[in-house]
């Protein structure tokens, strides 16, 4: 197959990045991780080496159940990246996980992303790749 006929691939994260590498390594086992500061109780997300509340480094990993609500979203109707171009229109959303963190992700499993609503319940789903899985969300079944 020629290079120009190859299906474009999703950009994937680096596993050797010091702050977020552990988060992405956990996704291989379909664990949506976030950090908790054992000194002040702050929930830390996106992962980093220090607490955003007290600047301490006593952070432990927790696992999200993968359920939450749409905080806000945008429908992308045009994309210049070859992978995302084939997906338009698609929704990019900030998701408030039930445990507290807010994560940016895509909402999948909807025919018309314009029908999504702020406050709508969503649940985690995974897009599998060789070394990582990408956390995506879909509307929760009522």
Q: What is the pTM of this model?
A: 0.90
Cis peptide before 89 (omega within 30 of 0): yes
pLDDT at 2 over 70: no
pLDDT digits (tens, 9 = 90+) for 52-72: 999 999 999 999 999 999 999
Going from the N-terminus, what domains does the chain have, and what CATH number goes with each? Answer: 13-139 (2.40.50.840)
């Amino acid at each position: 197959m020629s290079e120009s006929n190859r299906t474009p691939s999703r950009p994937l994260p680096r596993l050797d990045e010091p702050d977020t590498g552990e988060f992405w390594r956990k996704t291989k086992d379909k664990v949506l991780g976030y950090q908790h500061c054992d000194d002040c109780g702050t929930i830390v997300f996106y992962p980093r080496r220090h607490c955003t509340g007290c600047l301490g480094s006593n952070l432990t990993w927790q696992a999200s159940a993968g359920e939450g609500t749409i905080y806000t979203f945008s429908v992308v109707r045009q994309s210049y990246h070859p992978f995302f171009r084939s997906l338009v229109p698609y929704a990019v959303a900030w998701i408030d996980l039930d445990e507290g963190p807010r994560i940016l992700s895509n909402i999948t499993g909807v025919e018309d992303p314009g029908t999504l609503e702020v406050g709508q319940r969503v649940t985690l789903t995974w897009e599998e790749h060789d070394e990582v899985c990408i956390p995506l969300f879909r509307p929760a079944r009522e």
